[in-house]
A and B are shown apart, each in its own frame.
Chain A
Amino acid sequence: MARVYQVPRHAFPWLLAGALLASLPHLWRGPLWLAVAVPVLLGWRTLIQRGLLAMPGKLIRFPLLLAVVGATLYSHGTVLGPEAGVTLLVAAFALKMLEMFRLRDAYVAIILASFVLATTFLFSRDPLTTLYIGSALVVVMAALVGINDPESGVSPWRHLRQSGVMVLQALPLMLVFFVLVPRMPPLWNLQVNQQQAKTGMSDSMSPGEISRLSRQSGIAFRVEFDGEVPPPAQRYWRGLTYGWFDGRRWSQALPPEVRQQEYLHFANGPPPEWYEQLLAERGEPDWRYRVVMERTGQQWLYALSVPFSNRQEVGLARDLRLVRRTDIESTFDYQVDSYQMPVARQGLADWERRFYTSLPQQGGNPRARQMASEWRAGASGDAAYITRLLLWFNQEEFYYTLEPPLLGENTVDEFLFRTRRGFCEHYASSFAFMLRAAGIPARIVAGYQGGELNPLGNHLLVRQYDAHVWVEAWLQGQGWVEFDPTGAVAPTRIEQGLDAALAEYGESALTGLAGALRGVPLFARLSLLADYIEFGWAKWVLGYSQQNQLEFLSRWLGKVTPQRMVMALAAVGGVIMLAMLLWMLWRVRRPRLVWWQREHRRMTQMLSRRGVPLAPHLTTAQIVQIASQYFPAASQPLQDWQRCYDTIAYRKEITEPMVLRRQLRGLRRRVGRRLIRPMSLNPNPDQQREA
């Protein structure tokens, strides 16, 4: 075998550090064996570099590769797909470090390291991760610089500086590409997060589900208002409606006779009748805002009623909620105009009346049914019945709690008449039941209520624990009207949020560290700042899409055509490249001055400012002589200064630099104080100008 390629001593630290930094995020996330194997392989590589071990031969490397494939299969059940693929990639990359016989292997390993680094973005996208990846890329590129510099005895830091400069110079270009390179829809459908759980609301609700969500402080979405922010009591973010009750579980369903196209309208389809009516009735929007949503893995979007969105892939359902055509797999933002308007004129179709008053056929909850029919019979109308019911919730001994007792067969009966401790889903569920039992069309709306206003960005931050369910009832002449039984029991929940409401009952949603820290003012302020940064990140970076790009570009290019985009890209990129080239070629690095030279410069600058004409290249003695003519009062300190300066500048060794430095500076200041304007006897040509 030919001579084995030796990575230069000054390049190896970067190679090792780059490999480690590239795989580190995956070790955190991936299977345990990977977290053990990669450091061991890298340690092995270090011993090889030190000359303590030889590069392993095929007989060792091949079984290792097989073992890695086997372990990946064992951990993920497959070697395909992003999760397993990345595990395999990281392990194979670490193995590649043991197969470095030629310069080519080193190149391949380093370029592979940048690929491994990039795959981290499949799993984490926050600003800190991005900062980490950027810094790690500098290290990886420093390794590349290192293997291209075969001189020995070079300082490794030089490579880091070179690579740092290059990455910084590449940043403006990246920005231009990011903004201008045409975005495309996915070429084929591949989702990285298939195994990842869907978050937020689900399409059905049984007792206890929403309260589980209320223990999470994760971000659901953020809203940026164009204009006023609605008061807390009006922040009902509708996400989906549950129309079907099976006695225990409310779920999103449609009767089989309803066609999807008539129920859900997207911009490119033929508008159904109800949609046209809505369009005709709407006036000026009450709220105009932009929602930036985190990944949910679901289709539904959250908005205030009645929402219209500008985005092509967002449709409006007949139950007045926005739906995205595909699941939300990455940060998604949409502009919404909301109109507070009665939706009475579209009427209630026969199927709707039947569907929204349906209750389980087999009966159940007899007490509730009986009370409903008695009360309805005694009330003057639907509205009066509802008012009485809400009043009852308010005045009876109902408790708002995150830890309600378990309910048996007849959930509504047990809750209304026995336990009386519940979370919003209990109140909404029993309230809707009572309406339906009285023959009033009702449905449950699931979404979020409230949101914390971040004063820094003036945006609302809606978290998972703001999850909420409430009820809508169809009232003749008024259309769908919102009722919130939870508000009747615990008004604080609506006005001040979950924490305040639970506090009244001596509970807290967030336990542990997160809960404890929420009370600390400094932490609260820091978390507001972090939220502000994260929102900007989500809005400008993660959420920058084809649509944003078109909007942005049409402002600058007028009509956006592919040719114009390419031209803009070439023009801006070219200008940046040219500017950098000129800067690189003609930049003259100013020689670094030593401290006494800096002192000297300060002195001449001071004298010039005071009007002493000093030609360049004067000796120190000449400078002092000329300055003394202009400022006779400063003549003595000037001479002292010169003596001190000469001592420092022309002595071979300086034993006490700090003392001399202070002395020289002191003398300069004394000269400065003596630079009083001379009397008229002195021929000062600058006198007029100075006066």
Chain B
Amino acid sequence: MKRFGRMVRQRWQRWLQRRIPPSRKVTLDQRRIFIFPTGYGFLFLLIAALLFIGGINYENNLLLGFSFLLVGLFLIAILHTFRNLAGVTLVAGGMRPGFAGARGALEVRVQGGAHAHRSLWLRWPAAVAEEVSVEPGQQQSLWLSVRLSHRGRQDPGRLRVETRYPLGLLRSWSLVDLDHLCLAWPRPLPGGECPASGGENDAGQQHQRGGNEEFEGLRSYVAGDSLRLVDWKSYARGRGLNTKQFSDPAEGRLWLEWQRLPGLDPESRYSRLCFWVLELDRAAERYGLVLPDGSLEPDLGPLQRERALEMLALSGEGGG
């Protein structure tokens, strides 16, 4: 029985894959929209059936007419519920990575067609749905959170777009694959010695920014530069944002190295490295990264942190 269920599910997935192939931008039309009554829809039809029987039994044409009106409303609701979803365009938007075990978020942009689309519910499998309404020709952006189970790129599955508007008697939905992946950084694993070469020998301790760094000069601010290095005084004088440049002291450079974490399994190594990247970033320390499949030149600031985390996330193409 279980096997049978799995077979059916696989078939269904394959069929969906053919019918609604993955795409960064999907416009919903009759080929992609499914529609079926909700429980309330069946209750509504039951009421109509009761009234029909009552009309027959009491020879009451108006009761019959009322029951026919309810059935007519139900049929019209099919059209309206379908139309509420038809013409919606879903576009894969931005991505907010997170740590494995926590949550990331993916942006879905919902574009309206020629008419308004009210009360659309979007959700990934096994996640909480978000509601959105789009006016004709407008666009709404929605960040949907994604549970990140492991390190690497993650496919949240098919996005379910559903609506019951206007009467709630029918549910029309579509399952679209927006080819949208969310990046999961390794889960930070605190502790251990700083797996760094270079710098002071006592690398595990907090570094004091000493006088051993030489101020080199200013260059104009680039997005991603550490805000601690911005020359606020010159900014206050109206000279614009500038970043202070220091020359690297030979011994102040830290290389976080994969090799320096023996005895740990690969995933733990990534996690440990991740912890230290965050630590060093917090301490505004300059650091580089050496992994088996690549390395990152030492630098500091949010951009550096981003790059390092991404490298850690993708090294060895995800953790599995």
Interface residues of A in 192-248 (CB under 8 A from B): 192
In angstroms, Cα B131 to Cα A259, docked, is 76
In angstroms, Cα B66 to Cα A115, docked, is 9
Interface string of A176-202 (1 = CB under 8 A from B): 011001011111111110000000000
Which one of B57, B70, B119 lies within 8 Å of A148 (CB-CB)? B119
B77 pairs with A188, CB closer than 8 A: no
A residues near B133, Cβ cutoff 8 Å: 149, 151
Interface residues of A in 153-178 (CB under 8 A from B): 162-163, 166-167, 169-174, 177-178
Q: How far is the CB of B33 from chain A (nearest CB, A)?
A: 12
In angstroms, Cα B52 to Cα A186, docked, is 11
Q: Does A150 contact B (CB under 8 A)?
A: yes
Interface string of A301-318 (1 = CB under 8 A from B): 000000000000000000
Q: Does A291 contact B (CB under 8 A)?
A: no
Q: Does B61 contact A (CB under 8 A)?
A: yes
A114 pairs with B70, CB closer than 8 A: yes
Q: Does B316 contact A (CB under 8 A)?
A: no
In angstroms, Cα B115 to Cα A130, docked, is 33
A190 pairs with B58, CB closer than 8 A: yes
From known contacts A122-B58, A141-B73, A173-B72, infer whether A148 and B166 are also in contact, taking CB-CB under 8 Å: yes
B57 pairs with A186, CB closer than 8 A: yes
Q: Does B180 contact A (CB under 8 A)?
A: no
Q: Does B253 contact A (CB under 8 A)?
A: no
Which one of B43, B69, B119 lies within 8 Å of A111 (CB-CB)? B43
Interface residues of B in 57-97 (CB under 8 A from A): 57-73, 75-77, 79-80, 82-83, 86-87
B residues near A526, Cβ cutoff 8 Å: none
A166 pairs with B164, CB closer than 8 A: no
Q: How far is the CB of B110 from chain A (nearest CB, A)?
A: 14
B44 pairs with A170, CB closer than 8 A: no
B72 pairs with A174, CB closer than 8 A: yes
Interface string of A129-151 (1 = CB under 8 A from B): 01001100100010011011111
B75 pairs with A186, CB closer than 8 A: no
In angstroms, Cα B114 to Cα A378, docked, is 98
Closest to B165 in A: A148
B residues near A183, Cβ cutoff 8 Å: 56
From known contacts A151-B133, A170-B73, A542-B61, infer whether A162 and B56 are also in contact, taking CB-CB under 8 Å: no
From known contacts A148-B167, A588-B114, infer whether A173 and B75 are also in contact, taking CB-CB under 8 Å: yes
A residues near B72, Cβ cutoff 8 Å: 169-174, 177
Interface residues of A in 81-98 (CB under 8 A from B): 82
Q: Does B235 contact A (CB under 8 A)?
A: no
* Stretch among A350-358, A490-498, A578-586, A667-675 lining the B interface: A578-586
B65 pairs with A585, CB closer than 8 A: no
A residues near B43, Cβ cutoff 8 Å: 107-108, 111
B62 pairs with A177, CB closer than 8 A: no
Q: Does B51 contact A (CB under 8 A)?
A: yes
From known contacts A145-B166, A173-B71, infer whether A122 and B57 are also in contact, taking CB-CB under 8 Å: no
**Which of A107, A121, A581 has most B Cβ within 10 Å?**
A121
In angstroms, Cα B50 to Cα A118, docked, is 11
B residues near A108, Cβ cutoff 8 Å: 43
Q: How far is the CB of B246 from chain A (nearest CB, A)?
A: 52
From known contacts A115-B47, A122-B63, infer whether A580 and B76 are also in contact, taking CB-CB under 8 Å: yes
From known contacts A166-B73, A166-B76, A174-B69, infer whether A111 and B60 are also in contact, taking CB-CB under 8 Å: no
In angstroms, Cα B165 to Cα A163, docked, is 11
From known contacts A166-B76, A166-B77, A170-B76, infer whether A149 and B63 are also in contact, taking CB-CB under 8 Å: no
A residues near B76, Cβ cutoff 8 Å: 166, 169-170, 173, 580
Which one of B47, B54, B75, B114 lies within 8 Å of A114 (CB-CB)? B47
B residues near A580, Cβ cutoff 8 Å: 76, 79
Q: How far is the CB of A90 from chain B (nearest CB, A)?
A: 15
Which one of A107, A149, A186 lies within 8 Å of B40 (CB-CB)? A107
Closest to B114 in A: A588
B residues near A141, Cβ cutoff 8 Å: 73, 167
Q: Does A329 contact B (CB under 8 A)?
A: yes
A541 pairs with B57, CB closer than 8 A: no
A residues near B65, Cβ cutoff 8 Å: 130, 174, 178, 541
Q: Does B168 contact A (CB under 8 A)?
A: yes
B67 pairs with A118, CB closer than 8 A: yes
Q: How far is the CB of A116 from chain B (nearest CB, A)?
A: 10
B57 pairs with A190, CB closer than 8 A: yes
Q: Does B118 contact A (CB under 8 A)?
A: yes
B residues near A148, Cβ cutoff 8 Å: 119, 164-168
A330 pairs with B73, CB closer than 8 A: no
Q: How far is the CB of A299 from chain B (nearest CB, A)?
A: 15
A147 pairs with B168, CB closer than 8 A: yes
B50 pairs with A115, CB closer than 8 A: yes
How many A residues face the partner with a CB closer than 8 A?
Answer: 62
Q: How far is the CB of A591 from chain B (nearest CB, A)?
A: 11
Closest to B46 in A: A111
A187 pairs with B53, CB closer than 8 A: yes
B75 pairs with A170, CB closer than 8 A: yes
A residues near B166, Cβ cutoff 8 Å: 144-145, 148-149, 162-163, 166
From known contacts A148-B165, A148-B168, A171-B72, infer whether A584 and B62 are also in contact, taking CB-CB under 8 Å: no
Interface string of B91-118 (1 = CB under 8 A from A): 0000000000000000000000011001
Q: How far is the CB of A135 from chain B (nearest CB, A)?
A: 12
A330 pairs with B60, CB closer than 8 A: yes
Closest to A169 in B: B76
Q: How far is the CB of B87 from chain A (nearest CB, A)?
A: 8
Interface string of B153-175 (1 = CB under 8 A from A): 00000000000111110000000
In angstroms, Cα B59 to Cα A580, docked, is 32
A118 pairs with B57, CB closer than 8 A: no
B residues near A162, Cβ cutoff 8 Å: 166
**Which of B40, B72, B82, B133 has most A Cβ within 10 Å?**
B72
Closest to B66 in A: A118
Interface residues of B in 127-167 (CB under 8 A from A): 131, 133, 164-167
Closest to A124 in B: B62
B168 pairs with A130, CB closer than 8 A: no
Which one of A145, A150, A188, A190 lies within 8 Å of B131 (CB-CB)? A150
In angstroms, Cα B259 to Cα A539, docked, is 95
Q: How far is the CB of A577 from chain B (nearest CB, A)?
A: 6
Q: Does A324 contact B (CB under 8 A)?
A: no
From known contacts A115-B50, A122-B63, infer whether A187 and B57 are also in contact, taking CB-CB under 8 Å: yes
A residues near B40, Cβ cutoff 8 Å: 107, 111
B residues near A147, Cβ cutoff 8 Å: 168
From known contacts A147-B168, A166-B76, A166-B77, infer whether A137 and B69 are also in contact, taking CB-CB under 8 Å: yes
In angstroms, Cα B70 to Cα A685, docked, is 61
In angstroms, Cα B118 to Cα A191, docked, is 46
B73 pairs with A111, CB closer than 8 A: no
Which one of A114, A185, A187, A581 lies within 8 Å of B79 (CB-CB)? A581
Q: How far is the CB of B44 from chain A (nearest CB, A)?
A: 6
Q: How far is the CB of A121 from chain B (nearest CB, A)?
A: 4
A150 pairs with B75, CB closer than 8 A: no
From known contacts A150-B119, A166-B80, A169-B76, infer whether A130 and B68 are also in contact, taking CB-CB under 8 Å: no
Closest to A179 in B: B68
A residues near B82, Cβ cutoff 8 Å: 581
A residues near B56, Cβ cutoff 8 Å: 183-187
Closest to B56 in A: A184
| A-B CB proximity, top 9 nearest | A170-B72, A173-B72, A177-B68, A121-B62, A174-B69, A174-B68, A148-B168, A170-B73, A330-B59
Query: Can you name 11 A-B residue pairings with CB atoms under 8 Å?
Result: A115-B51, A148-B119, A149-B166, A162-B166, A166-B166, A170-B75, A174-B71, A184-B56, A544-B61, A577-B79, A580-B76
Extra 5 A-B pairs, beta carbons < 8 Å, given A162-B166, A542-B61: A114-B70, A150-B131, A541-B62, A584-B79, A585-B83
A contact residues vs B (CB 8 Å cutoff)? 82, 107-108, 111, 114-115, 117-118, 121-122, 125, 130, 133-134, 137, 141, 144-145, 147-151, 162-163, 166-167, 169-174, 177-178, 181, 183-192, 329-331, 541-545, 573, 577, 580-581, 584-585, 588-589
